[in-house]
């Protein structure tokens, strides 16, 4: 059972906007920044969003992050087939004094 | 920027293993570093982190007291000494660079390809 809760799956058709949620608590998302990672099949994770809504250089602006209270969301607009991957949210958690990840959401592009 | 892990393999329960991560293409001693693992078919789990000068470390509860993280800035290398290994430690172990020098961590912006650790008799 992950400290951060994500839906196990999400789907959309090309061109659509998909949103993936990440629910936490006051000891993690409520107090710290949220980060999002994309893991394409068979590859290492890649940082998509840092500090709630900042994109590293090279990440398309189709990817956006937001945070409100103890929840966060990753939105992917203009969905493409190459966006099919696992997505993970992450934050620091005071109660365990460690970085915690969500269980991951597998995005399918129909 | 590149991270290359090594040292994984098949090990019996209760034994030890030391993982290494060689960094290149960035100023290694400017950043905190981490180990993140992924069990087969499962999600990501943060294992341990160390700040830039080794004065701050952190461990997941699942490995606290069994694993030791260290770094050698002169050799641009990160290490994970894993003791008293258990079947549940079986995973692909990634080395990851932090965007920050300190703990708690920021984003992990550079990842290696991982080294597989299998704990089985």
Contacts of B104 in chain A (CB under 8 A): 32, 92, 99
Q: How far is A104 from chain B (nearest CA, A)?
A: 6
* CB atoms A45 and B109 under 8 Å: no
DSSP lists the bridge partners of residue B70 as: B79
Q: What residue ranges in B27-72 does DSSP mark as E strands?
A: 33-38, 44-50, 57-59, 67-72
**With 90 as the cut, is the pLDDT of residue A2 above it?**
no
* Cβ proximity of A8 and A95 under 8 Å: no
Contacts of A97 in chain B (CB under 8 A): 58
Chain B contact for A33, CB < 8 A? yes
Q: What is the mean pLDDT of residues B84-113?
A: 97
Q: How far is A86 from chain B (nearest CA, A)?
A: 9
Tokens of A36: 């999002």
pLDDT tens figures, B46-84: 999 999 999 999 999 999 999 999 999 999 999 999 999
pLDDT tens figures, A80-91: 999 999 999 999
Q: Report how far apart, in Å, the C-alpha atoms of B54 and of each of A100, A109, B29, B34, B57 are.
A: 21, 43, 10, 12, 7
Chain B contact for A9, CB < 8 A? no
Distance from C-alpha of B86 to C-alpha of B57, rounded to nearest angstrom: 22
Q: How far is A21 from chain B (nearest CA, A)?
A: 16
Question: What is the pLDDT, as a whole number, of residue A6?
Answer: 98
For chain A, give the mean pLDDT. 97
DSSP lists the bridge partners of residue A62 as: none
According to DSSP, residue B83 is labeled -
**Nearest residue of A to residue B63, measured between CA atoms:** A98
């Amino acid at each position: 059972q992950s400290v951060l809760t994500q839906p196990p799956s999400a789907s959309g058709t090309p061109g659509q906007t998909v949103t993936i949620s990440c629910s936490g608590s006051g000891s993690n998302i409520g107090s710290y920044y949220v980060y999002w990672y994309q893991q394409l099949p068979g590859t290492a994770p890649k940082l998509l969003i840092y500090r709630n809504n900042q994109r590293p250089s090279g990440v398309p602006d189709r990817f956006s992050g937001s945070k409100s209270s103890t929840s966060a969301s990753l939105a992917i607009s203009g969905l493409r087939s190459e966006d099919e991957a696992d997505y993970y949210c992450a934050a620091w958690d005071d109660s365990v004094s460690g970085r915690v990840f969500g269980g991951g959401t597998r995005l399918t592009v129909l | 920027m590149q991270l290359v892990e090594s040292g994984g393999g098949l090990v019996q329960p209760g034994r030890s293993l030391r993982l290494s991560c060689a960094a290149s293409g960035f100023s290694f001693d400017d950043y905190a570093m981490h180990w993140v693992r992924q069990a087969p078919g499962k999600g990501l789990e943060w294992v341990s982190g160390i700040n830039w000068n080794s004065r701050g470390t952190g461990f997941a509860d699942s490995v606290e007291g069994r694993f030791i993280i260290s770094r050698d800035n002169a050799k641009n290398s990160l290490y994970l000494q894993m003791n008293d290994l258990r079947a549940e430690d079986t995973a692909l172990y990634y080395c990851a660079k932090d965007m920050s020098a300190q703990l708690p961590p920021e984003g992990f912006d550079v990842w290696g390809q991982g080294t597989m650790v299998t704990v089985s008799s």
